[in-house]
Amino acid sequence: RKAWTVPMLADAKRDGRKLVMLTAYDASFARTMDAAGTDLVLVGDSLGMVVQGHNSTLPVSAADMAYHTACVARGLSKALLIADLPFASDATPERALDASIALLRAGAAMVKIEGAGHKLEVIRFLVEREIPVCAHLGLTPQSVLRLGGYKLQGRDDATAAKLRSDARAVAEAGAALLVLECVPTGLAQAITADLAIPTIGIGAGPHCDGQVLVLHDLLGVNSGHRRPKFVKDFLAEGGSVAGAFAAYGEAVRDGRFPDAAHSYD
Ligand code: KIV
Ligand code: NA
């Protein structure tokens, strides 16, 4: 098994190999998932909820992200490390550049940005400066105040068409990967077919090029929040933490996860 690099993402999509992604926030879990064959490890700003105990991701700082990214980086040898640009750290291209430099210096190979709109300029600005970018569309948790909660996105024709054009736009702006969160299965399938870059789904059905779950959700560790439909506890079937990571990876690669019970139609 070779260590992942950014250009290998497009190769995987072309070859039809599913990408297995999990979130991690520390070196020990990162090491365990790396050993279990997890392809991509995301230091998500979900750490604001599952590690820090906030009820949204908004309080997470760029310094928090850099700290956890450095911790996770020490645990990885093969997986590609992606780190979230937290709320407001990507409000302008210049701020995003500073925050991204800190994440890359901490060991990330790619930064993740929520949204399109004015973020397209930010994506272009970073990519032109040799910083690989993962886009994130659909339910973007940093938009929770505007959205009024964590809900399925792209349910009607107009919002679905907008999501589809936003997906084309982030790829056009230079994103090398796209996370789709909480969108109907058919829409995620259409977006995945539209793009040459891989899509990674979470609550986006089985047709994405890969899947991501939050570590705590996969292990059935309750964060005090309502459990979304797409969450599956793999600890039960895996028998151990390492077994849960392996079971999740196999289920994603075999196309058994997510099934209809863990997707939206
Ligand atoms: O912060 C996070 O964990 C994420 C994933 C849910 C995609 O952005
Ligand atoms: Na995130």
Residue ranges per structural domain of the chain: 7-262
Per the omega criterion (within 30 degrees of 0), is the bond before 258 cis? yes
Place of tokens 């020990």: 28
Q: Which atom of ligand 1 is nearest the CA belonging to 213?
A: 6
For 159-184, write each residue's pLDDT tens digit: 999 999 999 999 999 999 999 999 99
* Mean local confidence (pLDDT), 175-195: 98
Enter the tokens of residue 181: 């969160």
The rounded mean pLDDT for the chain is 97
Q: How far is Cα 103 from Cα 132, in angstroms, rounded to an integer?
A: 11
pLDDT digits (tens, 9 = 90+) for 64-101: 999 999 999 999 999 999 999 999 999 999 999 999 99
> For residue 224, what pLDDT is reported?
73
The pLDDT tens digits of the residues spanning 236-262 come to: 999 999 999 999 999 999 999 999 999
- This prediction has a pTM of 0.98
Which ligand is closest in space to the CA of residue 87? 2
Calculate what percentage of the chain has a pLDDT beyond 90: 97
Q: Residues with Cβ within 6 A of ligand 1?
A: 23, 42, 44-46, 84, 179, 181, 202, 212, 214
pLDDT of residue 227: 84
| Distance (Å) from CA 85 to ligand 2 centroid | 8
Helix (H) or strand (E) holding 29: helix 27-35
pLDDT of 52 above 70: yes
The ligand 1 atom at the shortest distance from the C-alpha of residue 44 is 1
Residue 225 has pLDDT above 80, yes or no: no
Is 196 strand, coil or helix? coil
At residue 223, the pLDDT reads 67
Ligand 1 atom 4: the closest Cα is on which residue?
Answer: 44
Q: List, in sequence order, every residue forming a beta bridge with 136; answer none if it has no partner.
A: 114, 179
CATH number of 7-262: 3.20.20.60
Is 181 catalytic? The answer is yes
Mean pLDDT (whole number) for 13-42: 98
Instruction: Report which protein residue has its CA nearest ligand 1's atom 1.
Output: 44
